[in-house]
Amino acid sequence: MMLVQQILFIALLVYAITRFSRQVRKIRRNVLLGQDEQITGSRWKRWKNVLLLAFGQKKMFRNWIPAILHLFVYLGFIIINLEILEIILDGILGTHRLLLPLLQDIYPVFISAFEVLAVLVILACSIFLIRRNILHVRRFEHPEMTRWPRQDANNILIFEIILMLLFLTMNASDQALQLKHYGHYHAAGDFLITRPIAEGWKQFSPALLVAFERGAWWLHIAGVLFFLNYLPYSKHFHILLAFPNTYYAPLEPKSQMPLMESLLPEVRSMMGLAVENEPQQVSPPAHFGAKDVFDLSWRHLLAAYSCTECGRCTAACPANQTGKRLSPRKIMMDTRDRLEEVGRNIDANGQFVDDGKSLLDYISEEELRACTTCQACVEECPVSISPLGIILELRRYLVMEASRSPQEWNAMFTSIENNGAPWAFPPDERAQWAAEL
């Protein structure tokens, strides 16, 4: 019987990991559809960002209550899943609590800590469900939060609660069997949360307790493997991608917008800023700005998959606050949706077949023009995503290739070209108003 369980477990494990790996390869392929971008700057600064923002969740603590609740869930995900290592080894080798002889007296301390975290995860996820579905926190109620984004968030929270309850059920029934000195359930010490429960469960028959323990064990590990394969289809893939995204995030000051190096000599000449020893002009790009996901950099596409949909960017956006259609969160969600559509196109045809669509079918010109480039969305993002980078590329395409810009902008462009400033006055006349002061 044990050998059959081992074979079933190994088959389940191999299937889950294979399926997850296949989906990760698809996402990697989608990200690499973007334009190449060289990553420069200090590696130390990049690792510092990973430690502070991804591991330390520094930006989350601007609002303490949700930050602490999120920390419980985060620690639960990272630390409790260390116990998955023991479960996997037990499943492959046919053992039970393999690490107990190695850790001895420390073992119940670790399991007790895991149980405390499990209770905190259940508490935090329950509060998050209440905030989303009963209190209706405003940043979760924007138009882009349609049925699937809402359901996706609820799915994960409910699933986390179920996994933690299964973990506690497994330990409680195991402890009850230990108290009965039944079979291979050797004494492992007292577990802080489940020992009192086990005392009450001693009245149950060993057969029922074994059914509880084995059932919870199988459902827990199967649930973890299902959760692993759900992640690539969910916004919760940020659990994994937050780390590379913060590493590759730009190190330049947020106020510094990316330049188009190939146009700098011409712009300097037009503005009368040409200098000696001007470097040789670089060949102009094939496209100015971005019309579709292929024209964005791979870093923009990685950020789209890393978005947590928390809405902090939209809540901070002054354009959104004044009733305009712009939502930085929607920019990221639309980019990911278009990228997923392109990926399905490639899967179906072996290569991308023009579908007559572009990213501008998802993001309207009205949204793009509403952006004030204030960088509030960039400042607020917990994992260093820049919706502004995508907005700027799309606007560059509209202005420089499609020649679709408001008349007011065209007047400003003309003044800059002729007068070196946005105002319709020559430089030698602009200060005349102060002559009589």
Going from N- to C-terminal start, the domains of the chain cover: 57-236, 249-273+285-426
Q: What is the pLDDT of residue 394?
A: 97
A 10 A CB-CB count for 101 gives 10
Compute the distance between CA of residue 141 and CA of residue 219 in angstroms, rounded to an integer: 34
Q: What is the pLDDT confidence band of residue 226, given thresholds at 50, 70 and 90?
A: very high
Distances (CA, A) of 189 to 57, 104, 107: 34, 9, 8
Which has the closest alpha carbon to 398: 298, 295, 318? 295
The 10s digit of each residue's pLDDT in 93-105 is: 999 999 999 888 9
What value does the mean pLDDT take over residues 124-136? 95
Q: What is the pLDDT of residue 277?
A: 59
**pLDDT exceeding 90 applies to what percent of the chain?**
72
Which residue spans within 77-199 are E strands per DSSP?
Answer: none
Q: What is the pLDDT confidence band of residue 1, given thresholds at 50, 70 and 90?
A: low
Q: What is the pLDDT of residue 280?
A: 58
CATH number of the 249-273+285-426 domain: 1.10.1060
The 10s digit of each residue's pLDDT in 104-113 is: 899 999 999 9
Compute the distance between CA of residue 307 and CA of residue 82 in angstroms, rounded to an integer: 25
Q: Which helix or strand (DSSP H or E) is residue 209 part of?
A: helix 206-230
Distances (CA, A) of 11 to 5, 15, 26, 129: 10, 6, 23, 35
Q: Which residue has the higher pLDDT, 419 or 391?
A: 391
Q: What is the pLDDT of residue 218?
A: 96
Q: What is the pLDDT of residue 209?
A: 96
Which has the closest alpha carbon to 278: 265, 266, 267? 265
Instruction: Report CA torsion sign: 316, 320, 325, 326.
Output: negative
Q: What is the pLDDT confidence band of residue 282, given thresholds at 50, 70 and 90?
A: low
Position 23 pLDDT exceeds 60:
yes
Q: What is the pLDDT of residue 295?
A: 96
Q: What is the pLDDT of residue 66?
A: 86
The 10s digit of each residue's pLDDT in 320-366 is: 999 999 999 999 999 999 999 999 999 999 999 999 999 999 999 99
Position 278 pLDDT exceeds 70:
no
Q: Determine the residue type at 149.
A: P
For 433, what's the count of Cα atoms within 13 Å in the CB-facing half-sphere? 3
Phi and psi angles of residue 35, each rounded to the nearest 5 degrees, phi first:
-70, 150
What value does the mean pLDDT take over residues 295-319? 96
The mean-pLDDT minimum among 207-211, 307-311, 346-350, 420-424 falls in 420-424
Look at residue 59 and give its three-state secondary structure: helix
The 10s digit of each residue's pLDDT in 169-198 is: 999 999 999 999 998 898 899 999 999 999
Position 276 pLDDT exceeds 60:
no
Average pLDDT of the chain to the nearest whole number: 91
Q: Which helix or strand (DSSP H or E) is residue 237 part of?
A: none
Look at residue 274 and give its three-state secondary structure: coil
**pLDDT exceeding 70 applies to what percent of the chain?**
97
Q: What is the pLDDT of residue 421?
A: 82
